[in-house]
Amino acid sequence: MIFIWLIKEAFVSLWRHKLRSFFAVVGVMVGIAAVIALVSIGKGVEKDVKKTVEGVGTNLIVVLSGKIDTSQSNFNQSAMGNPANFISGDILKRQDADEIAKVEGVKAVAPIALASGSIRRDGQTSTSMIMGTYPQIKDVMTGFSIRYGRFLDDSDSNKQNIVVGDFVKEQLFGDKDNIVGEKVMVGKDEFEIIGQLEKPKDAGALFSSDYESIAIISMGEAKRLNGGADKILRIAVSAKDSTDVSATVERIKQNMLLRHKDDEFSVLTQEDLLDMISSIISLLTTAVTAIAAISLIVGGIGISSVMFMSVADRTREIGIRKALGATSVLIMFQFLVESVVLAVLGGALGLVLALAVNEVVDAKTVIEPSVTVSVVILALAFCMGVGVLFGLLPAARAAMKDPVEALRQG
């Protein structure tokens, strides 16, 4: 009961100095807004990645050049091993793909190479990347589907045939819907569009743009465009049985070791990728939290100084209250409640601000920020802590005021 009374009194006295109260909470407001917005954006990205991975299929195994150690729970710089290996495209060979195809438990294999050159038509250039791969890529990654025309098959291995995503259509053909049969230039060669990719429905928004921004040609054509080099970025593998993925990964590693050193390649499952992305996000979240903590401390100092001002202003009031029988503890409590109300109010404003930011992010980007109840509760609890911590000193000063001195003032 006394609590409700104190809270009501706190609101009344804060309202009396609206502007001052507002300035007191700006710091806390911005801090809380930053935390909630960034955490919810992080959550949105994570959700999106999960959706993509699930869309692509849990049977997917990826062989990469360079060493990525996923046994470490935290993904960090040192876990990336030699960055030179990581970047270099000339470690993985077609032979690796062909050998992995023979490994027990492997259903299909497709190397993915980056072909040099860009797609042009009538002086316009598309930003699409050109990938060389096997027709089997369609069986390895479940994300591909065709809107018009057909996908690559074995008959295309030495033909200038190309399958394109939506970027090529939009950037080079404008409004035209079906561009199958049209011709485009890659380097000095003319390619015929034989198929158009459809944006997958079940992939996350962040990664579905991959399917829009790529164009696919045969591995043989890619090698020719690259002047005879494979330039394989990764080898995509699908396992026959989703329950046997880790054993298959182990066999692929053994197979790769026959031709490569241990630190030249990595074999990752979708789960590994998911874990990695999650740990990158949680690393970012930690950094954000640290920044937010600092801004909350700054906000807390703001509250503290406004509370000190308020205590000085209300010296006579404190004297009267004590004369009327308020104990020092009650006075202390009264001012503490006031600073907690101030901090929580700041947090609530911050929450509103964060929701507004999320709304903008949602509207302007593919990310859908997601706010969880636990984040909100945690943030408000944090505000309460800030209110108590930074209200303690001013409240103690109020409580210790001598009533006679206080009454003689003013």
Partner 1 sequence: MAKKEIVIKAKDLQKTYRLGRRNYVNALNGVDFELEKSDFVALVGPSGSGKSTFMHLVGLLQAPSAGKIWIKGEEMTKVSKRSYPRFRAEHIGFVFQGFNLIPTLTAKENVMLSGRYAGMSHRLARDHAEELLAKFGLQDRMNHKPDELSGGQQQRVAIARALINSPAIILADEPTGELDSKTSREVVEMLKELNSSGQTILIVTHNTEVAKMAKKIVEMKDGRIV
Which residue number, 15 or 177, has a Cβ lying nearer to partner 1? 15
Phi, psi of 164 (to 5 degrees): -120, 155
Min dist. Cβ of residue 16 to partner 1 (A): 5
Rounded to 5°, angle at Cα 55 from 51 and 58: 100
Environment class of 99 (CB within 10 Å of its CB; exposed 0-12, middle 13-18, buried 19+): middle
Which residue number, 320 or 380, has a Cβ lying nearer to partner 1? 320
Give the residue, chosen from 324, 363, 364, 374, that forms a contact with partner 1 under the rule CB under 8 A.
324
Site string for partner 1, 31-60 (x = CB under 8 A): ------------------------------
* Residue 252: closest CA among 141, 92, 105: 105
Q: Where is 193: in which H helix or E strand?
A: strand 189-198
Instruction: Check residue 309 for interaction with partner 1 (CB under 8 A).
Output: no
Residue 258 identity: L
Give the residue, chosen from 16, 150, 183, 261, that forms a contact with partner 1 under the rule CB under 8 A.
16
Give the residue, chosen from 3, 12, 19, 363, that forms a contact with partner 1 under the rule CB under 8 A.
12
Instruction: Check residue 378 for interaction with partner 1 (CB under 8 A).
Output: no
User: Residue 220 contacts by C-beta under 8 Å, 6 or more apart in sequence?
Assistant: 132, 157, 158
Q: Tell me which residue has tokens 């158009």.
A: 196
Q: Answer for the pair 390, 346: CB distance below 8 angstroms, yes or no.
A: no
Structure tokens given for 393: 């000193």
Which residue number, 241 or 402, has a Cβ lying nearer to partner 1? 402
Give dist(CA 83, CA 79) in Å, integer: 10
Site stretch for partner 1 (CB under 8 A), options 171-179, 323-331, 362-370, 387-395: 323-331
Instruction: Check residue 401 for interaction with partner 1 (CB under 8 A).
Output: no
Q: What is the DSSP letter of 201?
A: S
Instruction: Check residue 396 for interaction with partner 1 (CB under 8 A).
Output: no
Number of residues that bind partner 1 (CB under 8 A): 24
Site string for partner 1, 267-306 (x = CB under 8 A): ----------------------------------------
Give the residue, chosen from 323, 377, 381, 400, that forms a contact with partner 1 under the rule CB under 8 A.
323
Instruction: Check residue 322 for interaction with partner 1 (CB under 8 A).
Output: yes
Site stretch for partner 1 (CB under 8 A), options 7-15, 172-180, 224-232, 368-376: 7-15
Residue 133 identity: T
Q: Which residues are bridge partners to 14 per DSSP?
A: none
Instruction: Check residue 325 for interaction with partner 1 (CB under 8 A).
Output: yes
| CA torsion through residues 260, 266, 270, 272, sign | positive
Residues lying near partner 1 in the complex (CB under 8 A) are found at 1-2, 5, 9, 12-13, 16, 316-317, 320-328, 330, 402-404, 407, 410
